[in-house]
Amino acid sequence: MVAELTAPRLDVDGLLADPAIRIVVCCGAGGVGKTTTAAALGLRAAEVHGRRTVVLTIDPARRLAQSMGLTELDNTPRQVKGIDVDSSGGELYAMMLDMKRTFDEVVEQHTTPGRAAEIFGNPFYQAMSSTFAGTQEYMAMEKLGQLRAGDQWDLIVVDTPPSRSALDFLDAPARLSRFLDGRMLRLLLAPARGGRSVFSLVTASFGLFSKAVQKILGAQLLTDLSGFVAALDSMFGGFRQRADQTYRILQDPQTAFLLVAAPERDAIREAAYFAERLVEERMPLAGLVLNRMHQTEPAGLDAAESEAAADRLTADGDQQITADVLRIHAGLLRQSERETTVAAEFTRAFPSVPATAIAAQPADVHDVDGLRTIGTLIA
């Protein structure tokens, strides 16, 4: 199927075995099997290529834990037991991003215990660390940076949310910088650095501004925000520095981005959109994984011939089963042709991007054996 799309063949085993590749980022639209693909890649890296691998999912769905036989996943890597690593010597771990816990870890690592307690008790921090827009994506960058800096893992496989959210994953450092450099934050931060309350801004020049802000936000929220800014002041530079460092790691040849897509127009469109961003941001795009592709064994009959033969057999009246089989064959051929046509939209736009196809499976993947099968098909 991929050969018909005139795309170079994606050498997945070569990618997973390469010691220079330390991070594989799987991204794509929702519902295309991205989580399963990431888990299958991690399993194959450990079992076949002997690498100490951790799979990090940012998607809060529980499919990864279930397929690996784990009761739950959290912010700590958990080892996947019962896999075949006796000959390879590899290991496989899995974890799911807990953005609040990651934010707490950052605070604990980069402040004193007293300051950390002050930050944890701040209502604005409590809201931001759990629900603030962009926090999940930024904390994903923090966690990836932590995993990579520890140098504990031969390979980190990242399963991102659906692609538009994954774009936020890439944008997190720039968004953080805009937040830290924002005019409102600078006005709040200036008095905090000077050791004065934000309300000391009520001067001839800032009186109207402060009153307006209090009216819009409320005095208590403004107090909470000021306290939050003051408490995190010493950490702001570190936030930006680490985010920028992780962004550079994503641009480095040690990282490989894999786009995962199903042969559907929306999914292919999302994959193309993300590929454009990766090229624009100079991120290393390793290839495309086309999931759930339908294929048929060559039978010497195209769809039209199969349907014509089925009609003739039906007319005879005693070959109904054979006629039904021919119609099923014709339907699969037409579906395969449609999927090839849709997938070709991507390969025409990005002819140099390697690709591989995974045949559609009769059932969803729910265990390690299923992941192992998917890994074999990818490779």
Q: Which residue has the higher pLDDT, 254 or 99?
A: 254
Mean pLDDT of all residues in 288-317: 70
Model pLDDT, residue 3? 37
Mean pLDDT of all residues in 294-320: 67
Model pLDDT, residue 2? 40
Model confidence band, residue 1 (pLDDT cutoffs 50, 70, 90): very low
Mean pLDDT of all residues in 84-101: 89
Mean pLDDT of all residues in 96-103: 84
Q: 325 and 284 in contact (C-beta within 8 Å)?
A: no
Model confidence band, residue 113 (pLDDT cutoffs 50, 70, 90): confident
User: Any idea which of 46-50, 136-140, 204-208, 303-307 has the lowest mean pLDDT?
Assistant: 204-208
Chain mean pLDDT for the chain: 78
Query: Does position 4 have pLDDT exceeding 60, yes or no?
Result: no
User: Any idea which of 93-102, 196-205, 262-271 has the lowest mean pLDDT?
Assistant: 196-205
Cα separation, 128 vs 130, in Å, equals: 5
Query: Does position 124 have pLDDT exceeding 60, yes or no?
Result: yes
Model confidence band, residue 315 (pLDDT cutoffs 50, 70, 90): low
Q: 271 and 349 in contact (C-beta within 8 Å)?
A: no
Give the pair of three-digit tokens for residue 215.
């009216």
Domain boundaries, the chain: 3-181+245-297+339-378, 303-337
Q: Which pLDDT tens digit goes with each residue over 327-369?
A: 776 667 776 778 788 888 898 899 999 999 888 887 778 888 8
Model confidence band, residue 120 (pLDDT cutoffs 50, 70, 90): confident
Percent of the chain with pLDDT over 70: 69
Beta-bridge partners for 289:
260, 356
- Would you say domain 3-181+245-297+339-378 falls under CATH 3.40.50.300? yes
Query: Does position 85 have pLDDT exceeding 70, yes or no?
Result: yes
Model confidence band, residue 91 (pLDDT cutoffs 50, 70, 90): very high
Q: Which pLDDT tens digit goes with each residue over 185-237?
A: 555 555 544 544 444 443 444 444 445 444 444 556 556 666 666 666 566 66
Q: Which of 342, 338, 268, 329 is nearest to 303 (CA)?
A: 329
Query: What is the layout of strands, in order, in the sheet containing 355-359?
Result: 78-79, 91-96, 52-57, 155-162, 23-28, 255-261, 285-293, 355-359
Model pLDDT, residue 278? 92
Cα separation, 230 vs 192, in Å, equals: 5
